[in-house]
Amino acid sequence: MDIYSPDELNILVKCSTNTSTRARPNSPHPANLIFKPKSIKLLASLGNCPRRCKFCHYSNYDQNLYICPAKDTVELLNRAVQAYPEVRMVIFADDDFLLKRKNLSELLTLLRNDTATHGLIYVIETFPTLINQLILKELKEVGFRAIMLGLESPVFRVLKDIGKVRSENSFVQFLSAPKMARGAGFFTKVTAILFYPIISEEELAFTIEELTKLIDYGISVIVFPYVVALSGSRFQSEIENYQILSEKYALPNEKELSLPGVVLPKDRVIREVASQATRRAETYIKSVLESYHISGDYPAGINVLSFFETIIDCWKEIPRKKFLTIPLQNSNSM
């Protein structure tokens, strides 16, 4: 059981000591925050993930997908609350939490009637196509307040290559999820990969534009520059098709262990832009904060938007290349 802080979610006004908490929205993940107030991260499903996203290794477990029965989940929560009475939030950190609707319905019914867990705030990390207006309403009635979604990209071709969507219908539903959740009153966070290996310049420009719109809509965006070739992922099985950097780790016996690292973009221009932008990003963000006299905590969007501007500046410096601000016409994009 991991202990996390939900401060970044901006939805808790007071901690267990009845003193005001201050959000730390500049941190990229709740795991990096101090424990004020404490929360529990819980996995309610185990085993083989049926989605087989290209960059993920959870589809390689031998056992079939197992979703913890609702009764067992509530018993786990009761034991956790008893052991950690200061806990204020529970994070259901698995994409398959909403997959089995019957089990979900049973869980929500049990939580409504369970006095030991009354007052807890719940967060889910889930797959975008699993949510709809009815489910959001039911979740909110029980105490769910935040949703984290693996969006990854607003580009159909990229999502299809990852394995997140298979048809244009599912693509439309997939992209509507973040705004649907935000519109229903949930703190909404999405993850996105900028320099996905097959992305084109037009698609990268479109991705930056659409992620900026999500930030403007009030959605928190976490940006990962590259895909990492995790052991067991499909990138590993197709390693000959990509340029993958190695990460070296020192071992106690003074030897080194070399493991696959980030997967570089195939497009030469994007590869150069990515290299330059990731090197300059930290310096650029510091200059932005200094120019606006910002110190201490600051909105997470500043990091992301500053990184976008760094990318644009680097892009403009590429010889004989004009920065693209308009997505391809008739493309399958948002």
What's 80's domain CATH number?
Answer: 3.20.20.70
- Does 256 share its domain with 136? no
pLDDT for residue 49 is more than 70:
no
pLDDT value for 217: 93
- Does 131 share its domain with 248? no
Structure tokens at 200: 């084109």
Q: Give the CB-side neighbour count of residue 268, counting CA atoms within 13 A.
A: 4
Q: What is the pLDDT of residues 199-253, one digit of tens each?
A: 999 999 999 999 999 999 999 999 999 998 877 777 877 878 889 888 888 888 8
- Does 184 share its domain with 245? no
pLDDT value for 6: 36
**Arithmetic mean of pLDDT, 317-330:** 53
| Residue at 205 is within a domain | no
- Does 145 share its domain with 243? no
Is the peptide bond between 37 and the residue preceding it cis, with omega within 30 degrees of 0? yes
**Arithmetic mean of pLDDT, 303-317:** 93
Q: Which of 176, 193, 210 is the last residue of a domain?
A: 193
Beta-bridged to residue 262, according to DSSP, are: 228
- Does 19 share its domain with 130? yes
- Does 122 share its domain with 252? no
Return d(Cα 273, Cα 190) in angstroms, integer. Answer: 23
For 21, other C-beta atoms within 10 Å of its C-beta total: 18
- Does 81 share its domain with 29? yes
- Does 234 share its domain with 189? no
Domain that holds residue 40: 2-193
| Residue at 244 is within a domain | yes
Q: Which of 167, 193, 219 is the last residue of a domain?
A: 193
pLDDT value for 81: 87
pLDDT value for 244: 87
| Residue at 304 is within a domain | no
- Pure H helices in the chain: 70-83, 101-113, 133-142, 156-162, 168-183, 201-216, 234-237, 268-291, 300-317
| Residue at 118 is within a domain | yes
Q: Which of 139, 172, 193 is the last residue of a domain?
A: 193
| Residue at 235 is within a domain | yes
- Does 180 share its domain with 233? no
| Residue at 269 is within a domain | no
pLDDT for residue 321 is more than 70:
no
As a whole-number percent, the residues of the chain with pLDDT over 70 amount to 81
Q: Tell me how many domains the chain contains.
A: 2
- Does 45 share its domain with 109? yes
pLDDT value for 99: 83
For the packed helices 201-216 and 300-317, what is the interaxial angle rounded to 10 degrees?
A: 160
**Arithmetic mean of pLDDT, 116-122:** 90
Give yes or no for a contact between 265 and 315, defined as CB atoms under 8 angstroms apart. no
The DSSP letter of residue 3 is E
| Residue at 291 is within a domain | no
| Residue at 270 is within a domain | no
- Does 21 share its domain with 121? yes
- Residue 105, SS3? helix
- Does 66 share its domain with 184? yes
Return d(Cα 155, Cα 202) in angstroms, integer. Answer: 10
